[in-house]
Amino acid sequence: MVNSTMGRWAFFAFAWFFAATAFAQTIAPTPASDAAAQFDGKFRASATPGVEEAYLPILFRSSHAANLIKLQNGDLLCFWFSGTREGESNVGIVMSRLAKGSQQWSKTVEIDHEEGRSFQNPVAFQLPGGRLWLLHTSQAAGQGQTNAEVLYLTSADAGQTWSTPRPLFTQPGSFVRQPPVLLSNKEWLLPMYYTPSRTITDGAESHYSAVKITRDGGKSWKECRVPQSNGLVQQSVVRLASGHFLGFFRSRYADFIYKDASTDGCEWTAPLPTHFPNNNASIQVAMLRDRSLVIAFNNSSAGVTRGKPTTSIRKPLSIALSQDDGDTWPWVRDIETGNPAGERNEEYSYPSLLQDAEGKIVVAYTYRREVIKSVRFDEEWIKQGATEGKFKGDRMK
């Protein structure tokens, strides 16, 4: 395992000692009475009936881009990147564990960091044989995404220890965000994208998506470019009962979530806009045990269609449910709405979601860039509420 230096740890721990009490006043509703309880990872009843919520333990000042995985033993792992600020030196990959049946996420630990580099977007998956893979991006600190590459680490003990990171994809601008679809122990389908420009707006119409396919356990890869995907990134892919694949995209134009399809995972249809708004922020789709689909997204947009790349407010955070393979999404409910008047750093974004061993839907997401928040609820909970966002439930195009 790659560990942070004592000096770096001491600096952040000292800073958090003074900041924790003031920050604790900003995250409501949480019934905890002190800052230590706020960030202890323990699930507590939310002010919203039917929802439990937990704030994962903080290690460094900024937290973003959570990704969840359910292990074969029923444990959940949550990975995200954390440090001073996105893009700065020593921003590393961290992890917390929710043991099967537990009510509390574990202490957050750092998995990987490197002086002079900034790490982002961790993605984990476990092979049928038990080995755990962790991918994440790496870029020169302060240089933007143009020369990013993708590294990988593996673990043979369910994430307790990790191998030395190695490069996986080195083409400049390589990025990942969404987990792969595992077709067998050695055949994987990994969505990824390329970022020839430095930022998510200036020149972002040059960004495009591809799917990497390996049939030998990651030793070699075939790349399948998604047609007409310029400005469309972070494709979240699910495999339907029919064997066909659906993909859903973040749009750099902050207009809509886009959707495509494939019969083999390599030849994809051109993405088309759905009724879901998008604000140039990440989304994620997952399949439940009953074959229903759920999608977590910011229910907002910049109100334009295929204009210049832009951004929009990252709230509310909503979840929608489909029972017909994504043709219709009749039920939409807000997970996090925020303050109507707006506040500094108010952002609820980059959701990751899955169904745990007990059948609960678990969502982890960025809470104001300062902490990762996790909530869990039943599938039926989605049907019993509403949304303040743009999409109220409708038929997809």
* CATH numbers and ranges of domains, the chain: 6-395 (2.120.10.10)
Q: How far apart are CA 208 and CA 345, in angstroms?
A: 29
Report, as ranges of residue numbers, the positions in the chain whose pLDDT lies below 70: 1-37, 341-344, 395-397
For 91, other C-beta atoms within 10 Å of its C-beta total 24
Per-residue pLDDT of 271-294, as tens digits, reads 999 999 999 999 999 999 999 999
Q: Are 109 and 95 in contact (CB under 8 A)?
A: yes
- For the chain, where are the alpha helices, taking DSSP H only? 6-24, 35-38, 379-383
**CA-based R_g, the chain, Å:** 19
Q: How far apart are CA 292 and CA 385, in angstroms?
A: 18
Per-residue pLDDT of 129-148, as tens digits, reads 999 999 999 999 999 999 99
Q: What are phi and psi of 123, to 5 degrees?
A: -135, 125
Per-residue pLDDT of 303-343, as tens digits, reads 877 789 999 999 999 999 999 999 999 999 999 998 876 66
Per-residue pLDDT of 48-64, as tens digits, reads 999 999 999 999 999 99
Q: How far apart are CA 175 and CA 234, in angstroms?
A: 9
Q: How far apart are CA 313 and CA 62, in angstroms?
A: 19
Give the pLDDT confidence score for residue 38 in this predicted structure: 83
Q: How far apart are CA 337 and CA 347, in angstroms?
A: 10
Q: How far apart are CA 284 and CA 235, in angstroms?
A: 8
Single out the residue of 187, 138, 144, 143 nearest to residue 2, CA to CA: 138
Q: Amino acid letter at 72?
A: Q
